Amino acid sequence: MKVILTGGAGFIGSHVAEFYIKEGHQVLIIDDLSTGKEENIPQDSRFEKISILEYKKMEKIFEKFKPDIVNHHAAQSSVSVSTKNPLYDADVNIKGTIILLELSARYGCKGFIFAGSGGTAYGEPEVLPVKESCQGVPKSPYGVSKKSAEMYGMYYSEKIPFVSLRYGNVYGPRQDPFGEAGVIAIFSRRMLNNEEVFIYGDGTQTRDFIFIGDVVKANKKATEYVLKGNSGIFNIATGKETSVNEIFKKLKEITNYKKDPIYKPRREGEVYRISLDIEEAKEKLGFYPEVQIEEGLKKTVKYFYEKGE
C-alpha cells in the first residue's frame, strides 16, 4: 500500500511513518521542517521537503505517487503560537487540510486519517471524561482550526472515508524538549540537566496523557477501519486525568531531581481540566491503551538520558 504521511519529520508523524514501513508499505513523507527534524525521518521512506500549502507541488506528488492512504499529521501544533498568530495557524491547519482532502478525493485515495486534538476540541467540559458528542467551544485558535479541519474531513467523507483521531496529550521519545508544549519532554530534559523547571499556573491543571506507542496502535486500528470504508471521530487517550504537579512529582523521583518547581502565570488559551472518554474508540476501532503513565515516563526519561541533550 502507498501512504502519504504529512508531518513525518515531527514527533508523532515519525513514529507513525515507522509503523507503516515496518508493515511493508511505501511511505512518502511531506514536511516543511518548520518544527520537524530531518533526523526523525525513517530511512526507508521517501521525503519531499515542501509545505502542504504549496498546491501545485502537492498536486504533482498526488498525480505521480497516487496514495492509497493519506495520514495527515502536519500542523501548526502549538496552542501558544495560535493565540499569537491565528492567521498562520488557520492557514496551515484549515487550508492545508482542505488541500489534502481535495487532492485525496480527486486522485482516488481510499482513506484519510487526521490527527485531531481531544485536548483542545471541547473547551472546558462540565463532565469528565468528555465524550466526542460534547459541543464545547475551543479556548484557542488552535482548537478551532483543528476542529474546523475535522469538519471539512467529515464533509469530504462522502467521497473518501475519513477518520479523525482526537489525541489527548501525547508524550514519549522524540518529542521536542525545547518547544513550549510537551510538558513531559521539557521537564525530563530539564531535570536530567539539573535546570530549573517552570510550571505555568498552580500545577493542579490536568491532562489526559497518552504514550506514543499507544497512539501508533490507534493509527494502525484507524487504517484498518478507514480501509473498510468507515468514517468517524474518536478520542484517543486513556480516560484518566493527571495533574501537572503529579507529573512533576513522578519525574522528580525517576530522575532524582532535587529542586522545587518555579510557578509562573497560566498561559492564554489553555484548558484547566481534561480527560477523554474512549468508549467509542474501544468499541468501533478496538483501541485499548496499554502503557501506564509510570512506565511511559520511565521510557521517556531513558530516551532523553541516552540522547544526552
Ligand X SMILES: NC(=O)c1ccc[n+]([C@@H]2O[C@H](COP(=O)([O-])OP(=O)(O)OC[C@H]3O[C@@H](n4cnc5c(N)ncnc54)[C@H](O)[C@@H]3O)[C@@H](O)[C@H]2O)c1
Nearer residue to ligand X within complex by CB, 17 or 128: 17
Q: Which three cell numbers stand for residue 49?
A: 521537503
Q: Please state the separation of Cα 180 from the chain's center in Å.
A: 15
> Which of 107, 142, 152, 171 is the catalytic position?
142
Question: Is residue 142 among the annotated active site residues?
Answer: yes
Q: Find where cell 521510557 sits.
A: 299
Query: Would you count residue 16 as binding ligand X (CB under 6 A)?
Result: no
Site for ligand X in 64-93 (CB under 6 A): 73-77, 92
Among 4, 13, 150, 188, indicate the residue that binds ligand X (CB under 6 A).
Answer: 13
Q: Output the smallest distance, CB 106 to ligand X, in A.
A: 19
* Site track for ligand X across 185-214, x = CB under 6 A: ------------------------------
Element (H, E) at 280: helix 279-280
**Measured distance CA(224)–CA(163) in Å, rounded:** 11
Residues near ligand X (CB under 6 A), total: 32
Q: Which of 290, 288, 277, 171 is nearest to 234 (CA)?
A: 277
Beta bridge partners of 115: 165
CB of 259 to ligand X, least distance (A): 26
Stretch that binds ligand X, among 9-17, 98-106, 194-202, 237-245 (CB under 6 A): 9-17
Q: 148 exposed, middle or buried (CB, 10 Å; 0-12, 13-18, 19+)? A: middle
Sign of CA dihedral 28, 33, 34, 35: positive
Q: Which is nearer to ligand X, 211 or 225 (CB)?
A: 211
Of the candidates 1, 2, 21, 34, which one interacts with ligand X according to CB under 6 A? Answer: 34
What does the per-residue mask of binding to ligand X show for 128-167, with x meaning CB under 6 A? ------------------x--------------------x
Among 45, 71, 97, 117, binds ligand X (CB under 6 A): 117
Smallest separation (angstroms) from ligand X to the CB of 71: 10
Nearest to 73 by CA among 10, 27, 118: 10
Choose between 18 and 32: whose C-beta lies nearer to ligand X.
32
Burial of 200 by CB count in 10 Å (0-12 exposed, 13-18 middle, 19+ buried)? middle
CA distances for 296 relative to 44, 85, 258, 277, angstroms: 27, 33, 21, 20
Instruction: Please select the residue that binds ligand X; options are 25, 26, 46, 53, rule is CB under 6 A.
Output: 53
**Cβ-contact 105, 50 below 8 angstroms:** no
- The answer to whether the CB of 186 falls within 8 A of the CB of 271 is no
Residues annotated as part of the active site: 142
Residue numbers of the site for ligand X (CB under 6 A)?
A: 6-7, 9-13, 30-36, 51-53, 73-77, 92, 96, 115, 117, 119, 146, 167, 169-170, 176
